[in-house]
Amino acid sequence: MQHVTLKCFALLACWFSCLTLPAQAQTNIQTPKPLHSLETVGIPQPEMLVPMGRRATTVAQLQQRLWQRYMASTNSWQNEYRNLYSRYGASTLYGCLRSELWVDAAWKGFSETLRRYNASAQPVSDTLLILDRPMAEQRVWAYAYTYTNGQRTQVNWFLNQGNPTWLLQERTTLSYNAAGQLTHFLTASLSSSGVFEPYEQVFYIYNSQGQLEVFDYQRLDATGAWQSGNKIFYTYNSQGNVQQTRSQQIASSTGLLQDFHRDTYQYDAVGHLATKLIEEWNGIAWRTWAQNLYTYDAQGNLLSEHGQNWTGTSFQDGYRDLYTYTQITSVRAAATTRVSLAVSPNPVQGQAVLHYELPASATAATVDILDATGHQVATTILSAMGATQVSLPTEALPGGLYLVRLRAGACTGQTRLVVQ
């Protein structure tokens, strides 16, 4: 029982540590996210794989995420927990994440995560220490990430029980399609006999435009068969942003999937996510449950996520997330070997333009367009190194999903393109 309790502490701490990118903050108001390995091993969440409106236009380092709950009895906001980000290296790559709980009118350290990166600015390990336990009972968890061709393909979870030996506990394997989109992950625990036994998996299903259409989370049931425990269906607006998600879960009465809740998204004039309306299915119709409101600074960084519960007649404050940043005035792509790319318009009908920034040392660069099977269908040589954009030969391409890849010596970058 103690091992299970300690593991739950670790999962909770990792859940806190996964809440690092403010644009991905989609936490439900009344119920926390499930503490399964989807949240704990750095696997992209469904909302991380779909566009939720524009992102920040400048580079900023997140310093703090503060979560507060509204107390109606005192008409005030009460601190609950916060994440502190520090030891930044290049750009927005934090090296330390400290999670603290508000206890007895003071902040108390709960966990600390140390992150290491490879030369391509990808995390290679997260080492997590639970702080609020006596030294003799300290436990350290570590997640080691393996990459193949720039994509995360494996995550190993280790436990250290106060001795030099790291014990392998679980392994997650990730798979991708030819366009580089995550299609499947499988998590297995290491049994006492040394055999990995799968217990959960997720399938990511995309439509013909390359947009995530279905998120299917499955676990093994008592008979050893895979059963969908949660499904999320996505629809999109004309700008390619998520318009609505509909979630299903297993009903205890029938053992079958049934509608559970749905989220409807609205965006402001510049394309930022402004509101999320949350509804629940009562067996007959959709009923308003809550809403989230989002605010941004002038650079497009998320400043707050404000959750409100529906009382039956009006929305009432429930919680809020507040974000604090340090702006970076000068960040060059040369700081890492990865090149930032963007294609506009996307989706495109006709000609598209690739926007990029190369390090000053670059002397030659090539842009390739690959179809969904990985076949190279077009190549462009960049002759003007001082330029920051180039037209892509997309007019004659059949409709579908493509991968745009830029290579300039040791620097590489890629992005998806949808041709209509």
Residue indicated by tokens 């059963």: 227
pLDDT of residue 139: 65
pLDDT given for residue 363 in this prediction: 65
pLDDT at 161: 66
Cα angle value 247/48/414 (rounded, 5°): 140
CA 128, distance to chain mean position in Å, is: 19
First CA to last CA across the chain, in angstroms?
55
pLDDT at 279: 98
Measured distance CA(211)–CA(191) in Å, rounded = 37
Mean pLDDT, the chain cut into blocks of 10 residues (420 residues total)? 34 34 30 32 51 62 95 96 88 87 94 87 87 63 87 88 78 88 92 94 89 92 91 89 92 88 91 93 95 90 94 96 81 50 83 79 78 78 70 85 80 80
CA dihedral sign, ordered 129, 133, 139, 141: negative
104-109: list long-range contacts, CB under 8 Å, 24+ apart: 107/79, 107/82, 108/132
Which residues touch 334 (CB under 8 Å, ≥6 apart)?
359, 360, 361, 411
* Complete domains list, the chain, with CATH: 43-327 (2.40.128.720), 341-419 (2.60.40.1930)
What is the C-alpha separation between 158 and 213, in angstroms, rounded? 33
Cβ proximity of 65 and 83 under 8 Å: yes
Question: Which residues, 6+ apart, have CB-to-CB distance to 162 below 8 Å?
Answer: 136, 137, 138, 139
Give the per-residue pLDDT at 7. Answer: 37
What does the DSSP 8-state code read for residue 268? -
Buried b / exposed e across 124-133, counting CB within 10 Å, b at 16+? bebbbbbeee
pLDDT in the model for residue 1: 31
